[in-house]
């Protein structure tokens, strides 16, 4: 019996280190040619399986695969595409199995967030019932850090580091100009439902007068009066105020502070522009001159300043996914298990896919201080090791030299799918 | 005769490397104790001289001064404060001379843009006429790169590198998601009158399909029809489009694009931000899903990824300012003179302050291509060496370890100034 091939796909919003997980999967698979044939990557994630557009990673050099470790975003393409439930949409799941069978694929590695772990779980169930049992392993990924059970999610540590550095640097800028210019600076971060990313800005604060002075989290409905009082206090005491605001902050009535009214494929409302809303609030009530930054994709693609810890964990989880599959484990996701905060120690654990599918981990209540405008020492203790270490990419002509894949397509063996 | 003291002040918008110039000034002055006594830094720039709030840099350790080389923003405080003309406002200039005389200051080093060079020039004229001749040397600084004569301005190379990296990284993010998500990404950069910063994004492009696909410069009035056609073409050919837009872009009628109060889906006025204006334009005409980032202060404070060339030049100009002063030169500004593009060679030259005061250097016409939506190879040849090399700051606990000055104030010798 020849070794089965593997399918690897990237899912959802990409990160600075999801390719490091891809690197871990492919390098580890290559080290076991007796057990795994070729790793096929889905072009544009799961769409690559549905449409049988498979990228033959065997055509990529060892150098290119190694360079994925320092390359941000999704080298094979990712997709915001959520498969519906098995009952509503059996055809799509059946198609996946059909494509996997046609290409002798026995391993399914799905690199994404909660939705993706759910999909991986369903594929494992359906393969069984269709007489084509597969080994399905999820690999966690999300800048939002909102997966349960795993201590953290690859992608988060790097965006946390990016935001903490941005807060420190822009804070120094504002501090040095505040007497005659900008008094309030607002940095808008990602984080729809969980405030982890905005919370990470607090790592930049060493002394009371340091930025950030206010952190607005989605977990805490905005009390506008208390917020404005805090901004005023900061300007009066320190000469300036740095506010870090999560895009998902809501009013007491539960409305997003800024809601563009468009919805993505997962049914999530597309957010943006909470910074100008907050700026306007401050300008109107207090009259301070303000500036704001919206980091948007810069924060999650910022591989140039990735956390070394994050890169290491992203790689380790990709590697573990393959090793667990080869050890006969199925329908699980490798996790990060924290052994100690300081010195930071961790190891790779595992959890059943169904335990993480569609569960959203918000910040624990004891990570947010009584005012609701800052995080606690417990939160900082949790966050600190996640941004530790720098893992600089190589540079060429002053710019990071990121991997470019050849992207060789595997010949189709099936008719086209769908309409 | 004892050695005269020196006054050093930072002026206008701060940069990632203005403290490297301060480091160059102070370290070089310390190396010549026989010729220069103490370097006093103005607290909040020139306001420090007007209000006699002087920081005694002799109270800072050699380690702290050395650390200024890797610390962004203005360690002594900067100011947006332009002295008026000599005729309108002789009192302020007379006060400066009075403070300098009271503290036995014989050297005036003013680190800023065109306005500051003008001020330094006037101080040199007035000192002469008031019987207190001073040595006045300007040190160039501006992220806008809009000073004449000098080949480039310290601060620009680092912001150029930041924007080029951001374009490459966010571009990879968008490329990997475009099939099912964002198709157009807009990055707003600084640059009110000159397009240098937005132009630097073009360094990220290696092949035709690479981002950026469109660069909007203040030098080119926006032709909306041609712009939208270009965006559509990029999305159709490459699957996505990255637009880099300078904050100073204007309509054909000469209006700032950011001045056109746009309204979001809920009727709220969108404040500032040329990026949302461009995004709405694209959404309305073409219907593409978009995201935008506004880098704001993050770009000019981004010392974590400063250009090594820029840091070296910032330091060299601070050092040269002191050396030129000691050599008896006066009312001049040291400049960067380019000897060759590739390999990049440069040396420090000098120019009279009056030649740079209040002159704005825009991008030359032959740096912008015929379409008006991109730069030429001549422009890239000019820009390329300016972002070369990385000069990473030291890190502690995952964050850049930036200098904190003690900021010891010199005892006042004069009554308070003004009201």
- Confidence category of residue A259, pLDDT binned at 50, 70, 90: low
Closest Cβ opposite residue A168 in set B272, B275, B400: B400
State the pLDDT at residue B271. Answer: 41
For residue A59, pLDDT over 80 is answered with yes
Is the CB of A169 less than 8 angstroms away from the CB of B400? Answer: yes
- What CA–CA distance (Å, rounded) separates B346 from A395? 22
For residue A266, pLDDT over 60 is answered with no
For residue B7, pLDDT over 80 is answered with yes
Residue B129's Cβ-count burial label (10 Å; 0-12, 13-18, 19+) is exposed
State the pLDDT at residue B262. Answer: 44
Cα radius of gyration (chain A): 22
Is the CB of B264 less than 8 angstroms away from the CB of A273? Answer: yes
Tell me the average pLDDT of chain B. Answer: 94
For residue A272, pLDDT over 60 is answered with no
Q: With H, G, I as helix, E, B as strand and everything else as coil, classify residue A216.
A: strand
- Confidence category of residue A264, pLDDT binned at 50, 70, 90: very low
State the pLDDT at residue B419. Answer: 52
CA B29 to chain centre: 24
Alpha helices by DSSP H, A327-370: 353-356
**Maximum mean pLDDT: which of A122-136, B1-15, B147-161:** B147-161
Place of tokens 């990016």: A162
Query: Can you tell me the ipTM of this complex?
Result: 0.96
Compute the average pLDDT of residues B137-148: 96
- What CA–CA distance (Å, rounded) separates A296 from B271? 17
CA distances from residue A379 to A16, A366, A375, A376, B202 in whole angstroms, order as listed:
23, 8, 6, 5, 40
Residues 6+ apart with CB under 8 A from B100: B7, B49, B106, B108, B127, B132, B134
Is the CB of A169 less than 8 angstroms away from the CB of B395? Answer: no
Tokens of residue A59, six digits = 């055509």
Compute the average pLDDT of residues B367-389: 98
- Confidence category of residue A90, pLDDT binned at 50, 70, 90: confident
Is the CB of A164 less than 8 angstroms away from the CB of B305? Answer: no
Bridge-based pairing state of the strands B395-396 and B399-400 = antiparallel
With beta carbons under 8 A apart, name residues in chain B contacting A72. Answer: 169, 172-173
Q: What is the pLDDT of residues A143-152, one digit of tens each?
A: 999 999 999 9
Mind telling me how many Å the CA of A336 is from chain B's nearest CA?
19
CA B314 to chain centre: 11
Mind telling me how many Å the CA of A12 is from chain B's nearest CA?
8
Catalytic residues of A: 144
Q: B391 an active-site residue?
A: no
With beta carbons under 8 A apart, name residues in chain B contacting A398. Answer: 161, 164, 203, 307, 384, 387-389
Bridge-based pairing state of the strands B105-112 and B135-140 = parallel
- What CA–CA distance (Å, rounded) separates B174 from A48? 18
Closest Cβ opposite residue B79 in set A81, A179, A291: A179
Minimal-distance CA residue of chain A relative to B82 = A180
For residue B269, pLDDT over 60 is answered with no
State the pLDDT at residue A1. Answer: 55
Q: What is the pLDDT of residues A104-154, one digit of tens each?
A: 999 999 999 999 999 999 999 988 888 999 999 999 999 999 999 999 999
Closest Cβ opposite residue B172 in set A79, A261, A402: A402
Angle B143-B148-B154 from CA coordinates, rounded to 5°: 30
Is the CB of A177 less than 8 angstroms away from the CB of B81? Answer: no
Closest Cβ opposite residue A78 in set B177, B303, B387: B177
Judge contact between A357 and A118, C-beta under 8 A.
Answer: yes
């Amino acid at each position: 019996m020849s070794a089965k091939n593997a399918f690897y796909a990237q899912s959802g919003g990409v990160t600075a280190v999801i390719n490091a997980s891809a690197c871990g999967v492919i390098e580890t698979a290559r080290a076991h040619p007796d057990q795994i044939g070729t790793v096929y990557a889905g072009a544009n994630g799961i769409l690559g399986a549905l449409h049988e557009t498979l990228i033959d990673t065997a055509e990529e050099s060892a150098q290119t695969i190694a360079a994925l470790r320092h390359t941000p975003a999704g080298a094979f393409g990712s997709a915001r595409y959520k498969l519906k439930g098995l009952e509503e949409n059996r055809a799509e799941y059946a198609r996946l199995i059909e494509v996997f069978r046609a290409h002798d694929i026995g391993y399914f590695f799905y690199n994404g967030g909660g939705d993706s772990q759910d999909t991986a779980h369903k594929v494992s169930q359906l393969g069984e019932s269709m007489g084509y049992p597969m080994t399905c392993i999820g690999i966690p990924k999300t800048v939002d850090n909102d997966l349960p059970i795993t201590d953290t999610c690859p992608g988060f540590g790097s965006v946390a580091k990016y935001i903490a550095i941005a807060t420190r640097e822009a804070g120094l800028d504002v501090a040095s100009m505040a007497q005659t210019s900008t008094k309030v600076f607002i940095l808008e971060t990602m984080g729809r439902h969980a405030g982890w990313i905005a919370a990470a800005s607090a790592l930049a604060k060493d002394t009371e007068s340091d930025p950030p002075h206010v952190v607005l989290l989605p977990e805490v409905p905005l009390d506008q009066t208390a917020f404005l009082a805090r901004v005023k206090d900061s300007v009066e005491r320190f000469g300036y105020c740095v506010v870090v605001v999560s895009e998902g902050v809501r009013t007491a009535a539960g409305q997003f502070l800024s809601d563009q009214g468009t919805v993505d494929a997962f049914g999530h409302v597309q957010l943006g522009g909470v910074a100008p809303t907050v700026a306007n609030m401050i300008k109107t009530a207090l009259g301070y001159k303000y500036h704001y930054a919206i980091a948007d994709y810069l924060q999650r693609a910022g591989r140039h300043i990735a956390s070394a810890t994050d890169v290491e964990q992203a790689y380790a989880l990709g590697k573990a996914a393959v090793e667990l599959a080869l050890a006969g484990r199925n329908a699980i996701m490798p996790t990060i298990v924290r052994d100690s905060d300081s010195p930071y120690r961790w190891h790779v654990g595992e959890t059943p896919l169904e335990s993480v599918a569609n569960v959203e981990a918000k910040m624990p209540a004891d990570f947010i201080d009584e005012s609701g405008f800052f995080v606690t020492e417990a939160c900082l203790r949790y966050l600190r090791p996640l941004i530790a270490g720098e893992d600089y990419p190589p540079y060429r002509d002053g710019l990071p030299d990121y991997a470019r894949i050849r992207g060789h397509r595997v010949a189709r063996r099936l008719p086209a799918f769908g309409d």
